Structure 1
Amino acid sequence: MTLHQERRLTYCLQPTPPKLRLPPGTCDTHVHVFGPSARFPLAASIHAIPEDAPKETLFDLHRRLGVQRCVIVQSAVHGFDNAVTEDAIAHGGGRYLGVALVPLTVSDAELSRLADVGFRGVRFNFMKHLAPAGGIDEIVAFTRRLAPIGMHLQVHFDSDLIHRLAGQLAQSAVPVVIDHMGRVDASLGADHADFAALHQLMRNPLFRVKVSGIDRISPFAPGQAHADYSSGIALAQLLVRDFPDRCFWGTDWPHPNHTHVPDDGMLVDGLLHIAPDETLRELLLVRNPQDFYRFEA
C-alpha cells in the first residue's frame, strides 16, 4: 500500500456525551458519508483516502448526541456520484436530506431527480485542495437552473476569496449558503478583513451561513493536549446574535483534511456559548433548518 492509499480514521470513536440537551427536532446541517467503499466507489481524484464512515455510524452518532434531523453534504471523497448520499437519505426515515455535488453540465432531468429524492441544494468548492467545478460566473449562471426546482447554492471557499466572490454571489438566482463561516482564521478576531467581509455579506438576506467548523477555524498546534475552540465560538456567537434567522449549525462529521479529530460531544457543547439561551438554540437548531430545508413537520 502506497502512502496516498493509507486509510485514515476521521472521526472520534467514543465522543464525550454532551452536557447540553438538544431541543427536539435539532438538525445537524453539515455531515458527510463515506462508503462503504466496497459498495460506493471513491473518486479517482482524491489523495488521502479516509476510513469508511457509513450511514449506520452517522445514525448512531446522532442518537448519542440527541440529533433528530440532518443534511448530508456530498463529499469530494465520492465526487459527482451522489449515490452514497442518496442511499443514506433513503434510509433516514424522512429525517435526512442532502446537498449534491454535480458538474455544471448536469442535465435538468438529473437535477429534478435529485430534488425529488431529497436533495435541497448543490455545493461548489473553491478550496485550494479541491478541483474547482467551474468559474464563479458560470456557477452564478447555473443557479437559474436551480430556482425552478427549489434548490439553493452552497459554497465552500478559502477565507481570502470572499473579497472576490461576494459581489458575484450576490447575483445568485437562489439563496446562497456559506460553509463553515467562510473558513476564516478565528485567531485574527472579528475585526479582520475576511470576517468583516463575511459579516457585511450576511446583511444581504440572500445569504445564510453555517456556524459549523469551530474546530477548523480555531488554531490547533500539533501536539496540543486539549482543543480550545473559543476563538471560533466567539465568531459563531456574533453571527448568531446578528443574523439569528439565517444561521445553521452542523458537526461537519466525519472530519477529513483536518489538523486533528475533534470530539463531537465537545462540538455540541460549544452551542452553550454560540447560542447561549434556549430561544436562540430553538431558532438555530430547529426552526431555521425546518423552514429552509423543508423538512416534513
Structure 2
Amino acid sequence: MHTPLPPLACNAHCHVFGPRDTFPYAANASFIPAADAPKEALYALNDKLGLQRCVVVQSACHGFDNSAAEDAIRHRPQTYRGIALVPTDVAQAELNRLNSAGFRGVRFNFMGHLGHRTPIEEVLALAARFEPLGWHLQIHGDPSLLTDMAPALLRSPTPVVIDHIGRLDASLGLDQPAFKALRRLMADRRFWVKVSGMDRITRLGPPYADAQPFAKALVDEFGDRVLWGNDWPHPNHAGPVPDEQQLVDLIHEIAPSEAARHALMVSNPERLYQFGDLT
C-alpha cells in the first residue's frame, strides 16, 4: 500500500517536451527527445501520484524558447510554476513577462553533455537583474562545480538551488569531497538543494540504496531548504528509467517524519516558488 503524500505536495523538478508540431525543438538543441512529453502527460502523471503542485523546468531541447513550459503553466496557473532558460543579455521586459507568466528562476547547465559553459560573472550579473522579482538561480553541473564554482556562487545576489544532489557519485560515500563541498555551500542559508536525481547518482540502480543516504542526510541537516522532484520524463538518463511510483514511495525513506515530508513537499516549494501569488 502506498502512503499518501501531504495535500499540496509539489513535484519541483520535471520537464515538458513539445509536442513538436506546436512547440518545435531548437535547431541547435544539445539533444532532441525521442518522443514528445506534452503537458497533458505531465498533468496525468502528477494527478495520479498525488502531486498537486509542480515546477516545470525549461528543457535544453527547446533552448531559450520557453513557450512549451509557459503553456503548461498557463493551463494550471494556481498550482504550476516554471524555471526558464534565457540568455544572459535577455531584455528586462522579457524577464518581467516571464514573471507574470509564472516563472520564478533561471537554470544554468554546466554539465558537459549539455554543452553550456556560460561565464559565471555573466550569470551573476543576470541574477542581479532578476533579484527584484524574487527569482533564484538554479545550477546543474557535475561534482567539480561544487568546489570550482563555489566562491563565485557564494557571491550570488539571489538564492541558489543546486540540482540533483550535485550530481555526485553515490558509490564514493558520504565522506567524499564533493558531498562535503555541497554541505559547505548549504551552510549558507541562501542555498537550496534538490534531493531529486537519486536515480542519476546511484551506481546500484533502483531502489538506490547507495543514493538514499545522501538525500536523507540533506533532509536531516537542511530540512527547510530541500526540494523534491521526479525529473520526468528523465532526459539523457543512463540506466533503467525510474518507476514513478517508486520514486514517490522513497520520499518516506528520505524524509521519515511527517514534519520533514511537509517541509520537503509543501512549505519549502511554496516559499521558494511563491505559490498562491497568481490568480
TM-score by shorter chain over 0.5: yes
**1:114-133 alignment, distance < 5 Å:** 114-132=98-116
RMSD: 1.3
Work out which of the residue numbers 114, 133, 143 in structure 2 matches 1:149: 133
Structure 2 match to 1:275 = 255
Structure 1 match to 2:216 = 237
1:230 maps to a residue whose letter is A
Structure 1 match to 2:8 = 25
Tell me the CA shift for residue 261 of structure 1. Answer: 1.1
1:13-32 deviations in whole A, cap 9, x for unaligned? xxxxx712100010010000
Matched, 1:262 2:245: no
In 1, Cα distance between equivalents of 2:30 and 2:272: 31
SS at match of 1:57: helix
In 2, Cα distance between equivalents of 1:169 and 1:141: 12
**1:93-112 alignment, distance < 5 Å:** 93-112=77-96
Contact 1:103 1:133 in 2 (8 A): no
2:276 maps to a residue whose letter is E
Tell me the CA shift for residue 232 of structure 1. Answer: 1.3
Tell me the CA shift for residue 137 of structure 1. Answer: 1.7
1:243-286 deviations in whole A, cap 9, x for unaligned? 00000010011101111211011101111111001111011100
Matched, 1:136 2:94: no
Matched, 1:74 2:58: yes
**1:1-297 alignment, distance < 5 Å:** 19-44=2-27, 45-132=29-116, 134-220=118-204, 227-259=206-238, 260-296=240-276
Contact 2:25 2:32 in 1 (8 A): no
Structure 2 match to 1:5 = none
Contact 2:191 2:225 in 1 (8 A): yes
SS at match of 2:24: coil
In 2, Cα distance between equivalents of 1:71 and 1:249: 10
Tell me the CA shift for residue 131 of structure 1. Answer: 2.4
Tell me the CA shift for residue 141 of structure 1. Answer: 1.9
Deviates more, 1:126-135 or 1:108-117: 126-135
Tell me the CA shift for residue 133 of structure 1. Answer: 5.4
Q: Percent identity?
A: 51
Number of aligned positions between the proteins: 275
Contact 2:31 2:60 in 1 (8 A): no
1:21 maps to a residue whose letter is P
1:211-258 deviations in whole A, cap 9, x for unaligned? 0001111115xxxxx723111111000000000000001001110111
Contact 2:89 2:126 in 1 (8 A): no
1:48-103 deviations in whole A, cap 9, x for unaligned? 43301110000000111001000000000111000000000001141100000001
Tell me the CA shift for residue 293 of structure 1. Answer: 0.9
In 1, Cα distance between equivalents of 2:71 and 2:32: 23
SS at match of 1:92: coil
1:148-200 deviations in whole A, cap 9, x for unaligned? 12211111001122111111001001100110011011111110000110011
In 1, Cα distance between equivalents of 2:105 and 2:145: 21
CA 1:287 to 1:237, structure 2 compared with 1: closer, same or farther past 3 Å?
A: same
TM-score (normalised: structure 1): 0.90
